[in-house]
Structure formats: structure tokens, C-alpha cells
Amino acid sequence: PAPLNDRTRAKLFRHYIKYIAPAFDSYDPTRYFSTSVPSIAATCPAFLELILVVAARHHQAVQGGAPNLELDVYRRQLPSHDDFVEQMIQSGMDMAHLDVAVLLYHFCENLQATSMHNDASSDLIPPHLDMSRLHVSPLLTQIPVTFHEAVMWACLRQELFLAVMNQTPIDQDKYRSSLEHLTHTSDDFSRTNRMLLKLMNVVRFCFGEGKDTTTYDELLESTASWMRSTPASFTPVMTRRKCNGAPFPEIWLLNDCIAAGLQYYHLSRILLIVHDPRVPRLCRARREASRWIDAQVRNDLEIICGIAESMSKINPMHITACMAISMVGDRCSQRSQQGAVINILDKTTTEFAWSTDLA
């Protein structure tokens, strides 16, 4: 029989393609998670089962409400990481595809951890899950995995999301050389990924130990240099300032890559402004600096949210908007804007189930 010759399984598979894959693909023009991953699942029953389990947990996370008996069979307890990898290998999965299985496994763990955090009565707590860390890094694995390019970038995007939302440092040294090697071309995708790597460095600095001014100045200049070097294609097709009570400006851009790159630039600015080691500590000077900081980061936040909202009602760029909101959303002073940022958090969590509870 066909692997999806069952209505419930087919619905879960479609749920993965419609709601889970787009968040991982983000601005990747190859749409690896939407196109290639389903084909891999068709040749590996164990991997197909993983996708169905992930989809069932994701469906429960975004739909909520009463348990769905049809889906409960797929909301099974996850095995330990090592047991999971062993299952994939024994099932005959091509080692070249193990990377995406590991990423989806950890994403499923994050869904499970968030669900348990929100439901103290849950009986699905796996014995191997460390509840002291609600969010599991998608790259924390002792198994030597060769990462496909699209999966590496998806891993880094999820890692940065978790780091910013939890305000924790990120350690990607062993991936840095591989990722930098993939950004030498001059196309929009590579240019945006270069900014993503700069954002990674900014996050490491802002949430890590010690904040020396030399490193800060280097990061500030590196970020500004990226913006100065952007070609004309990064210029908005149309911009419209806030008017008639609109909470954000309208910013129309040529494609998703450009939108993501500009969002990463403005998010880096927010982080660097907030974590400036030269901010005065004395009362009067600090108050004056605080007013300047608030004005600057609000402007960057409005641009990030404006980019996402101008693209469509909900899209992966809203995930980056949630990262910015988690950092400086509390600095929005207008009631209409406060409601707008809360709406972005709510609808992004509802659509993608990337938890924004800490924002």
C-alpha cells in the first residue's frame, strides 16, 4: 500500500508541508524542507514516521483544545537522542540525510518541552529530557553528522531564535568555517547569510561573558559595513511612513532574501545599541542615554515589523520580528503599537509554533 494510504497520515504529512517546512525554509530559494525532505520521507519509513510525529505535536501546539484521538497515536514519547539516531541508521536512512532528521528531532523536543512547560499535568515527560533547559539546541549532537547546506542554515536560524528568545550565548565555532565558505558569492541569498553570520557574532557578544569596547566597535563597524555594501536591489520598492494610526511603516522589498537580510541588520543594531558597554552608569547621563536608546531601537523594531507585515499577513519574517519584540517590545509607548506587537507574537506562535512565551 502507499505510505500515506490513510487519511490521518496524509493530513499530518500535508500539515508538515504547509506549516512546518516554510518556517525552516524561510528565505532559502531551494525550499529544501518543502520539496526535498518529503521525497526523502517517501524512501525511508522511519523518517516518514518522524515527520508524522513532528506534525502531530505541531498540530496540537498550534490548534490546542481537546485532544484529538486520531492524532494521539502519533504524539508518542520521543526516544533518547542516541536511540533515535540508531533507529534512523538501522532503518536504512542515507547518512547524507541524517542531518535533517536530527534537526526535526530536536524541533520536536522543543515542542514537547514547551507543551510540558505550559501543562504541568502532562504525562509525556521523557526521562532523558533536561527540564532545566526548556529549549534544545538543534546542533547539540555527539553524532558526527555531515550537514546539508540548507539544513545548516536552518539550524543556525533556529539556534539564533532560541538564543535571542532565551537571551543565552551561542557557540558555533565548529560550524563557522563551513558556513563562511558558503557565503562567497554575491547573490542575495549569500549576502543575507553573511549578515546572518554577523548576527551570530553579535548574539555571542551580547549574551556572552565580558563586553570589551574593542570587540563591540568591530561588530558595530562590521554590521554597518554590510549595510553600506548592499546593492541597489536592497533598496525598498516602496516605503510609506506610519500614518492614520498604523503601528508600522510599509516597506516593500523585491524578495524574501532581501527582507531577511535587512531584518537581520536591524536586529543586530538593536542588540548592539542595547548592549553598548559605553552606556553611562550615572543617573542623569544614563537617563539621557536611555531616551536616545529607546528612540533608536523603536525605529529599528518598527522597520523589522514593517517588513514582515508588508509581505503578508503571516510569513517566516514574523519569526525575526518576534526576536526583536522579545528584546525591545516593552519600549513601545503607543497603545496601538503595543497591541500590534502582541498580535505579531500571537499569530506567529499560532502559525509556526516557535514559542514566543518568553517575549
Is residue 85 assigned to a domain? yes
pLDDT of amino acid 225: 98
How many domains is the chain built from?
Answer: 1
Is residue 226 assigned to a domain? no
Could you tell me which residues come within 8 angstroms of residue 73 by beta carbon, excluding any fewer than 6 positions away? Answer: none
Average pLDDT over residues 39-67: 82
The total number of residues written for the chain in this structure: 359
Is residue 124 assigned to a domain? yes
Is residue 173 assigned to a domain? no
pLDDT of amino acid 182: 74
Treating both helix axes as pointing N-terminal to C-terminal, what angle do 283-311 and 335-352 enclose, rounded to 10 degrees? 50
Q: Pick the range with the lowest mean pLDDT from 86-95, 184-193, 266-275, 320-329.
A: 86-95
Beta strands (DSSP E) in the chain are 238-240, 250-252
Containing domain of residue 87, as a range? 1-146
Is residue 288 assigned to a domain? no
pLDDT of amino acid 128: 33
pLDDT of amino acid 73: 59
**What span, in angstroms and rounded, lies between the C-alpha atoms of 33 and 93?**
17
Is residue 77 assigned to a domain? yes
Is residue 259 assigned to a domain? no
Residue of higher predicted confidence among 353 and 316? 316
- The radius of gyration of the chain's CA atoms, rounded to the nearest angstrom, is 21
| b/e map 284-301, b = 16+ CB within 10 Å | eeeeebeeebeebbbebb
User: pLDDT (tens digit, 9 = 90+) per residue, 60-88?
Assistant: 887 765 556 566 656 666 677 777 778 78
pLDDT of amino acid 123: 31
Is residue 213 assigned to a domain? no
User: pLDDT (tens digit, 9 = 90+) per residue, 3-13?
Assistant: 677 888 899 99
